Structure 1
């Protein structure tokens, strides 16, 4: 029973966050990011300023908070724990993008596109994006460590500084390619296929084999 209540609370929290975020993005798009206040967002979303700040401590969080890291970690966990780290990470990035932009995810796709366009156009968001990239890097390396702990694969051992360094370097390099692809997609107003762009960017760095299906 306690577990069910916990799940329901998490679902309500996620729904509240999504509602607040949707109103914030709408106002940012209509009025401009700098011209929109946190109080105006709280009023539009029908919540108190205290509730708004509890879910989104900063204005930047309203644009940059997403499930991307969670999705990537899920796909990493579901992938075979073998092969080069860059290959595993690359395929997880493409799979997460496919989940966010597929035919059955039109709302998620549009939401992602508008948020990316806001990030590109707003200096404060571009600066905070670096923090998000670091958090995403940590989510990826943590997922690889968790997977290694549950298998006999030769993936990075979190107790091994050199292995941890290699995992962070692989994640960072893959995320740089991801960022390049996502910026191109946003500048193209979402007309191109995001997973394909990500695959092209990764292949440009690591070679075509990085995005070939695992054998």
Structure 2
């Protein structure tokens, strides 16, 4: 019974998110209301708030973080932390990019161009950093995250943010996984020069 309820919740959450992004693309973020999103998804205005505390949270919530945490954790622990994160991201990104390219571009544009979202973007980035930290910590659930792990996780978030920003500035014209690979190359080269 619980699995059925959870699947139903996930379907409703996905329907709300898809409706929101469709309306944001058609009308713009500011001109789309929560009531519009709920109506488009076929649910009540109050149902929206059971899934997202605010309209901003539809965009800010990153559904990829749990997947990335697991992929980082699955990497061989003897590899350097930066390589573990890079390999996890580069393994997942081509499929995500192919499946969700337009939604990724719209979400990224909204985060970079909408003042209300840009003001809260640190929350979303912090969630990604925590996902990388958790994936790198051994054993999982370690209370005290070592400074080296925090630094690598923060650097990897910066790599991804820079690649995504360049991609958005180019109107989504480049290949995002390739840009991410170049950004990781740059970080690794800088580390090799400094070492």
State whether TM-score is above 0.5: yes
Alpha-carbon contact 2:71-2:135 (below 8 Å) kept: no
Q: Distance in 1 between matches of 2:63 and 2:189?
A: 28
Q: Name stretches of at least 5 consecutive residues in structure 1 with no aligned partner.
A: 151-156, 211-215
2:139 aligned with 1:123? no
Shift of 1:118: 1.7
Q: Is 1:138 paired with 2:126?
A: no
* Deviation for aligned residue 1:131: 0.4
The answer to whether the aligner puts 1:60 opposite 2:56 as a matched pair is yes
Q: Among residues 206, 209, 212, which one is paired with 2:188 in the alignment?
A: 206
Partner of 1:69: 65
Aligned length in residues: 192
Q: Report the TM-score, using the length of structure 1 for normalisation.
A: 0.81
Deviation readout 1:83-141 (Å, 9 max, x if unpaired)? 21111112222223223113xx2xx2221111111222211111211101111111121
**Unaligned 5+ residue runs, structure 2?**
none
1:10 Cα offset (Å) = 2.1
Tell me which moved more, 22-31 or 130-139. 22-31
CA distance in 2, matches of 1:209, 1:83: 15
TM normalised by structure 2 equals 0.89
CA RMSD of aligned residues (A): 2.1
C-alpha deviations, 1:146-189, integer Å up to 9, x for none? xx227xxxxxx935x4x522111110011101001011122223
C-alpha separation in 2, matches of 1:41 and 1:93: 31
